[in-house]
Chains A and B, each alone.
Chain A
């Protein structure tokens, strides 16, 4: 059986505030951004800083509290690798000074990535492949966003989180429900830069609802993603509860991917979750993709919003479309 024994996260130093955004896009006011989206500021990496660099920083930070030699697997979730190859986790293993007789790999998922990562870690432990895993989520969507794309600049922030998952005597990471629907692939995509469409130095600006971007940049059809979420996630929650033979009342707390306040408020209402059992807080960090759930977990633990013994339902959803959920015992 497996459990989470430590979580930590890191935010890049550079900050983009709502005042900065309303200065660049005068049609938006700082107050309106915060009221509608629930975000006051977001952090962004510098030009020469990558998701790998953030992963190294958070890896070093969490390893100050751990015996480095005891880590026998490294898993990295990122959609912003340094190179096509080698896999970033190999570089990370070396920079963190981890043992060489351990497994290490990346996987490419966004907002569902933390759930999948927990599932992977649980699988590795229960198959007796690993005993103690360093699982890092690290994402830098700001690198993919056009400087004139006010919608995406407003929503996304960069961050990295590290989670130690290890073998335990009690079952603390429970069962998983996962889902995929590639029909939504084109609704959240960076069209150029892969092998299907190479990065195009002459890519032309496109206007989309007042946002300017090229095909080299991140594109998100926000309303369609919203539609997918409000249709899919209530069913995901029901499936998670059914799989664990739980009712809504049995769950002490709900932590969903912190996409945006508007979406979370509506999901909370639709699922009839009381305010005191539902986490909404992305004010200081924005949507940090695969790191929103570990950031929320760490903040909830530090602020004693969740405590030992609580049953917490986690759900992640987004780019792909890809979604997943699980229940953990704190």
Chain B
């Protein structure tokens, strides 16, 4: 998934608009579930909910997923 595509998909997952890599985000519980599902489906990777609670920006999330965009 290319960077632009990832950002667009993430906007849908989090139900927010105009995300960029530097956007600041703090995930709610339901958004954490949505991100876990999104990453499990698209990257076959299981993210820890506790790690997701700690992220502060889209860039943090991208580095947690750990794939090249």
Residues of A within 8 A of B (CB): 36, 151, 209-210, 221-224, 226-227, 230-231, 262-263, 266, 270
Contacts and interface: CB of A to CB of B under 8 A. Distances in A.
Nearest to A226: B33
A230 B36 contact: yes
B20 interface: no
Nearest to A269: B41
Nearest to B46: A231
B40 interface: yes
B30 interface: yes
Contacts of A223: 29, 32-33, 36, 49, 52-53
Given A209-B53, A223-B32, 10 more contacts: A209-B28, A221-B49, A222-B49, A224-B48, A224-B49, A226-B49, A227-B46, A227-B47, A230-B37, A230-B40
A76 to B, nearest CB: 33
A227 B29 contact: no
Main secondary structure of the interface of B (DSSP, over half): helix
A227 B52 CA distance: 12
The 8 closest A-B pairs by CB, nearest first: A223-B49, A223-B32, A224-B49, A226-B33, A266-B37, A209-B29, A222-B29, A227-B49
Contacts of B36: 223, 226-227, 230
Given A226-B36, A230-B36, A230-B37, A36 B30 contact: yes
Main secondary structure of the interface of A (DSSP, over half): helix
29 contacts: A151-B29, A209-B28, A209-B29, A210-B28, A221-B49, A221-B50, A222-B29, A222-B33, A222-B49, A223-B29, A223-B32, A223-B33, A223-B36, A223-B49, A224-B48, A224-B50, A226-B33, A226-B36, A226-B49, A227-B36, A227-B46, A227-B47, A227-B48, A227-B49, A230-B36, A231-B46, A262-B33, A263-B33, A266-B37
Contacts of A224: 48-50
Interface residues of B, number: 15
A209 B27 CA distance: 10
B3 to A, nearest CB: 26
Interface in B19-41: 28-30, 32-33, 36-37, 40
A182 B52 CA distance: 22
Contacts of B52: 223
* Chain B CB within 10 Å, residue with most, of A210, A227, A231: A227
A103 to B, nearest CB: 41
Contacts of B50: 221, 224
Contacts of B49: 221-224, 226-227
A227 B32 CA distance: 10
Contacts of B46: 227, 230-231
Contacts of B33: 222-223, 226, 262-263
